[in-house]
Amino acid sequence: MITINNLSKVYRTKKGEIKGVDNVSLTINEGEIYGIVGYSGAGKSSLVRCINLLERPTTGNITVDGVDLTTLKSEELRQARLRIGMIFQHFNLVSQKTVFENIAFSLKAARVPASKINDRVEQLLEMVGLSDKRDVYPGQLSGGQKQRVGIARALANNPKVLLCDEATSALDPTTTKSILKLLKKINRELNITIVLITHEMDVVKEICHRMAIMQGGRVVEEGKVYDIFASPKEELTREFIESVISFELPETILKKVSGTLVKVVFKGEVAGESVVSDTIQKFAINGNFLHGSIDYIQEQPLGIFVMELTGGKAEIKKALDYIGKRTALVEVIRHGV
Ligand SMILES: Nc1ncnc2c1ncn2[C@@H]1O[C@H](COP(=O)(O)OP(=O)(O)OP(=O)(O)O)[C@@H](O)[C@H]1O
């Protein structure tokens, strides 16, 4: 659905050139919810704004639904943009217009006949659960309700793609959940491809199928969200994962532990299997769970545990090989003393 090829965006400022995006190539499939994660300044907004050519890439190209946007003339580009909706962190609603007028504005801009506008707006309001707010002004709405209006407006012209620029960053956790649920529904029921940029790994864990992690304008890691959570390759990715799944062991426990500390990751159904008790029976070692939990990433279980193994060095090595064969990952955090 979206192909980004060797895209760079350079900003020319008085102080010199700043690379917002540095040679990024990505493919986002039809019907996917794709997360782009990174700290402030990583280049997420620059990249996502290049997808609908709000920013023109300095080099590289962007193909959306088979059309290379960088080659289009202004009227063609206007048409192509109607197929790409966008929502924003601060909603970008017009405060002097009612909810109805905010949504109708998008339809008028797309030259939808006046006779069709009323029904379409009502349909959109129903979809986002705001039928009773049709005639109120944005100032009378909560943050979550404002974002629902933003979503209705973005969907008005039946886009194939919805770009979400930190769409839940200004919302509290409960409202965030309800907006994410709505985005999931839109993705499933309307088959709209969603690209979501965020600095919150929770958001990605909740709804994204695949993700990219950005730093310094580059993509440092990319893949299925589940696989990235199970076995992150880059330090930055680990940092983001640890913001939602903590492995920090309290100092008091660390001081008491003298055996080998290992982190074990169980994927899918294996999460429920008795790998550890089998290991203890097979080898002359003891195992002691110190910390861990089973998380669900879009309904797929992922178990991450920290254990202490005690016993002879050779037996521990054999046990680790055995656990490694039956689980997604086993990693020694600290060797025994
Ligand atoms: N219009 C601009 N002019 C000059 N530099 C810019 C412009 N927009 C972004 N940048 C720079 O490009 C880099 C990437 O910024 P960008 O906003 O894309 O990052 P981000 O990951 O979205 O961060 P944030 O979440 O804080 O917006 C930063 O160094 C930023 O200062």
Give pLDDT tens digits for 127-153: 999 999 999 999 999 999 999 999 999
Q: Which residue spans of the chain are classified as CATH 3.30.70.260?
A: 251-334
- What local confidence, expressed as pLDDT, does residue 276 receive? 80
Please state the atom number of ligand 1 nearest to the C-alpha of residue 165.
22
Ramachandran region, residue 134 (left: φ > 0; alpha: ψ -120 to 50; beta: rest): alpha
ipTM over 0.85: yes
Please tell me the distance from the alpha carbon of residue 296 to that of residue 298, in angstroms, as a whole number: 6
For residue 74, the CA-to-ligand 1 centroid distance in Å is 25
Does the Cβ of 45 fall within 6 Å of ligand 1? yes
Looking at residue 270, what is its pLDDT? 65
Count Cβ neighbours within 10 Å for each residue of 11-28 and write b for 16 or more, e otherwise: eeeeeeeebbbbebebeb
Give residues with Cβ within 8 angstroms of 306, minimum separation 6: 247, 249, 261, 262, 263, 264, 289, 290, 291, 292, 333
The secondary structure element, H or E, covering residue 47 is: helix 44-51
Describe the chain by its helix, strand, coil percentages, rounded to 5.
40, 30, 30
Q: Is 289 exposed, middle or buried (0-12, 13-18, 19+ CB in 10 A)?
A: exposed
CATH architecture of 251-334: 2-Layer Sandwich (3.30)
Going by C-alpha positions, the residue among 54, 67, 53, 57 that lies closest to residue 19 is 57
Instruction: Please work out, in degrees rounded to the nearest 5, the angle formed at the alpha carbon of residue 9 by the alpha carbons of 47 and 74.
Output: 80
Closest Cα to residue 291, out of 253, 325, 242?
A: 253
In three state form, how does the secondary structure of 228-294 look? Answer: HHHCCCCHHHHHHHHCCCCCCCCHHHHHHCCCEEEEEEEEHHHHHCCHHHHHHHHCCEEEEEEEEEE
Cβ–ligand 1 distance for 46 under 6 Å, the answer yes
Q: Check pocket membership of 138 for ligand 1, CB cut-off 6 A.
A: no
Give pTM, 2 decimals: 0.89
Identify the bridge partners of residue 304 per DSSP, sorted by sequence position. 265, 293
Q: Ligand 1: which of 9, 44, 47 to mutate, most ligand atoms within 8 Å of CB?
A: 44
pLDDT at 221: 97
- The predicted structure's pLDDT at residue 273: 64
Model pLDDT for residues 243-254, shown as the tens digit of each residue: 888 777 777 777
Distance CA 295, CA 242 (A): 13
Q: How far is the CA of 40 from the centre of ligand 1 (A)?
A: 8
Cβ of 49 less than 6 Å from ligand 1? no
Determine whether the shortest distance from the Cβ of 36 to ligand 1 is under 6 A. Answer: no
Please give the distance, rounded to the nearest whole angstrom, from the Cα atom of residue 103 to the centre of ligand 1. 29
Which atom of ligand 1 is least distant from the CA of 38?
A: 21
- Splitting the chain (337 residues) into consecutive groups of 10 residues, what average pLDDT does each group show? 95 92 96 96 94 92 92 89 91 94 93 92 95 94 95 95 94 94 95 95 94 97 93 91 80 82 81 76 86 84 87 89 85 82
- Answer yes or no: are the C-beta atoms of 217 and 21 closer than 8 Å: yes
How far apart are alpha carbons 2 and 126 in whole angstroms?
29
Q: Domain spanning 2-242: which CATH class is it, in words? A: alpha beta
Nearest to 88 by CA among 194, 208, 168, 32: 168
Q: What are phi and psi of 238, to 5 degrees?
A: -60, -40
pLDDT at residue 106 in the model:
92
- Which pLDDT score is estimated for 303? 85
